[in-house]
Amino acid sequence: MPDLARRLAVARGDELADVVVEGGKVFSAFTREWLETEIAICDGYVAGLGEYAGKEVVHARGKYVVPGFVDAHMHLESSKLLVDEFARLVLPLGTTTVVADPHEIANVLGTDGVHWLADLADEVPLDIYFMASSCVPASKFESPRRALTAGDLEGLLARRRVIGLAEMMNYPGVIAGDPHELEKLALRSSHVDGHAPGVLGKELQAYAAAGIGSDHELSTLEEGRERLRAGMWVLIREASAARNLEALVPLVEEFGPGRLAFCTDDREPEHIAAEGHMNSIVCAAVEQGVAVEDALVMATLNPALWHGLGHLGALAPGFQADLLLLPDLESFEPELVLKRGQPVEEIPRPDVPDWVKNTVRVQSVANNDFQIPWEGGKARVIGLIEGQIVTEALEEELKIDDGLAVADPSRDLAKIAVVERHLGTGRIGLGFVRGFGSQRGAIASTIAHDAHNIVVVGVDDGDMARAVQRLAELGGGLCVIADRGVQAELPLPVAGLLSDAPLADVVKGSEACVAAAEALGCTFPAPFQMMAFLALSVVPKLKITDRGLIDVDRFQLVSLETD
């Protein structure tokens, strides 16, 4: 506990504050007023609002002073950045706290990886809270390095930074009363994030009755209304791929912002660098007609309330002094960010230990590993839909060459493979995908939700094999191969998910990969982002893992041949 006696002396005016913020209009998240008051800060906490004297003065005349933004739900790994670089990126944008589900790293590095992330979080000024990843693997069709048990979660929940159970993606299991899922829920029944896209009616009642308290996967007003009535918080998501703000904004007018909060879920580094982070959601909400005060509450106090972070999300006595000076209420680009009452200083770079690298272990692959003997007939083909991670389940005749099914660029049919890469089992799932537009070569990535095996899409088996080899050499990342040669690559050596390089290098590498893919004919926007979701077996309709094609609606493995 900080020195409460000193804080009280400052509040009473008996001692000088460390810092006084003076002259600004201070947003009260509780009353939604703009108060003309000073803020006295002591040991990183607000001691009092009123007239105070301090050792330092921050002049805020003409500025708006608001609490730092709290991201209600996100995955650090989507930024491809280590925690320190992520903090360097988002703190100046006004995000001072994030609640992260570390399930990407948990799929690769187990609970050890989560503990390592949490240790890193201790070293950065950004407040990072974790939810214990409830669904590793996301389904029985996925192959992480190891599955997390209820016992693993119990251990994670014992850590101070781990405050609840992360998104319960196995919603069919929860609704059906699967004992394994109920065992997890029993660990922390009062604070569990949800994940239930499209679930309505009695199934939603069951999901809420299980104690799931939020959802961020909804995209319609009907879903929003049902969730609010069921007592769930609605976390309005604006990710890089899935963007739900526009569809859900009417909920604010209909019911008030009381049980609504904003979250970023998955934001790519390019996206954050170009558009911003939580501040861009506030900005977009206001542009779409939400009152500034409501938008701010949804980005500050409300996420803190849902997560029981009683010292965050507001500027009032006893709250942590995370605050932003805004020159206006339109751009929401902070002119100054105080974290625990201080400007953010240089954030040290952490040592990255060997054990979090070198996670890519594959058997030697060759052209013939990607061969598909085929005698004709219709095949199941994954069909991409722009702007969605849901896919179509197509049925197509395949081009046959010497008894083998092959890619057919003229009909935009590429081959897709998922190669198990944690244990070197040699397990490979094979299929076809339509929508990328690629004419030659192959693109591959070790980011492939949620198990993060290697996903590779190509029109040439040799280039596909080379891509997998190259990712194994890099220890993970993205790459583009043509004529057996590397056209572009982004190394992600940490768990095959994260770079240990600065943001600029990551963005540059990422952009180079996209440009190289385009040079191979790829016409799908953000192709690596899309490809990363083709292995996610809990989002409809047709997906692929190292175990083969998954009919998500039937929730079973299916053959390449149609029934």
Q: Pick between residue 51 and residue 395 the one whose CB is nearest to a second copy.
A: 51
Rule CB under 8 A: say whether 186 interacts with a second copy.
yes
Alpha carbon distance 484, 467 (integer Å): 8
The residue from 55, 180, 202, 554 that contacts a second copy (CB under 8 A) is 202
Give the shortest CB-4-to-a second copy separation in angstroms.
5
The residue from 23, 198, 250, 318 that contacts a second copy (CB under 8 A) is 318
The label of the residue with tokens 């969730």 reads: 227
Three-state SS string over 80-101 comes to: CCCHHHHHHHHHHHCEEEEEEC
H-state helical runs in 393-526: 461-474, 503-519
Give 336's strand partners.
Answer: 325
Give the shortest CB-431-to-a second copy separation in angstroms.
33
Q: Pick between residue 18 and residue 270 the one whose CB is nearest to a second copy.
A: 18
Subset of 47-76 contacting a second copy (CB under 8 A): 47-50
Q: Pick between residue 231 and residue 376 the one whose CB is nearest to a second copy.
A: 231
Residues 493, 443 contacting (CB under 8 angstroms): no
Q: Pick between residue 36 and residue 563 the one whose CB is nearest to a second copy.
A: 36
The site for a second copy, by CB under 8 A, has a size of 58
- Token pair listed for 478: 């993205």
Give the shortest CB-337-to-a second copy separation in angstroms.
21
* Residue 331, SS3 per DSSP: coil
Alpha carbon distance 291, 283 (integer Å): 11
Alpha carbon distance 404, 534 (integer Å): 23
Q: Pick between residue 190 and residue 410 the one whose CB is nearest to a second copy.
A: 190
The residue from 55, 59, 180, 229 that contacts a second copy (CB under 8 A) is 229
Residues 428, 420 contacting (CB under 8 angstroms): yes
541 preceded by a cis bond (ω within 30 of 0): yes
Rule CB under 8 A: say whether 335 interacts with a second copy.
no
Subset of 7-36 contacting a second copy (CB under 8 A): 7-9, 11-13, 28, 30-33, 35
Alpha carbon distance 44, 53 (integer Å): 16
Mask 239-278, x = binds a second copy (CB under 8 A)? ---------------xxx-xx-------------------
Rule CB under 8 A: say whether 158 interacts with a second copy.
no
Give the shortest CB-552-to-a second copy separation in angstroms.
20
Alpha carbon distance 232, 260 (integer Å): 9
Q: Pick between residue 208 and residue 516 the one whose CB is nearest to a second copy.
A: 208
Subset of 281-310 contacting a second copy (CB under 8 A): 310
269 preceded by a cis bond (ω within 30 of 0): no
Cα separations in angstroms, 550 against 88, 146, 311, 393, 417: 39, 20, 44, 10, 13
Q: Which stretch binds a second copy (CB under 8 A): 129-137, 155-163, 170-178, 520-528?
A: 170-178
Strand ranges inside 420-484, DSSP E:
428-434, 442-445, 454-458, 477-482
Give the shortest CB-21-to-a second copy separation in angstroms.
14
Q: Pick between residue 50 and residue 343 the one whose CB is nearest to a second copy.
A: 50
Q: Sheet harboring 95-100: ordered strands across? A: 69-74, 95-100, 127-132, 162-168, 192-194
Subset of 419-438 contacting a second copy (CB under 8 A): none
Q: Pick between residue 317 and residue 409 the one whose CB is nearest to a second copy.
A: 317
Q: Supply the DSSP string of 19-84, one letter for each residue.
A: EEEESSEEE-TTT--EEE-EEEEETTEEEEEES--EEEEEE-TT-EEEEPEEEEEE-GGGGTS-HH
Q: Which stretch binds a second copy (CB under 8 A): 156-164, 181-189, 276-284, 366-374?
A: 181-189
Q: Pick between residue 52 and residue 262 the one whose CB is nearest to a second copy.
A: 52
Q: Phi first, then psi: give them for residue 178, nearest 5 degrees.
A: -55, 120
| Positions in the binding site for a second copy (CB under 8 A) | 1, 4-5, 7-9, 11-13, 28, 30-33, 35, 40, 45-50, 174-177, 179, 182, 185-186, 189-190, 201-203, 205-206, 208-211, 213, 225, 228-231, 254-256, 258-259, 310, 314, 316-319
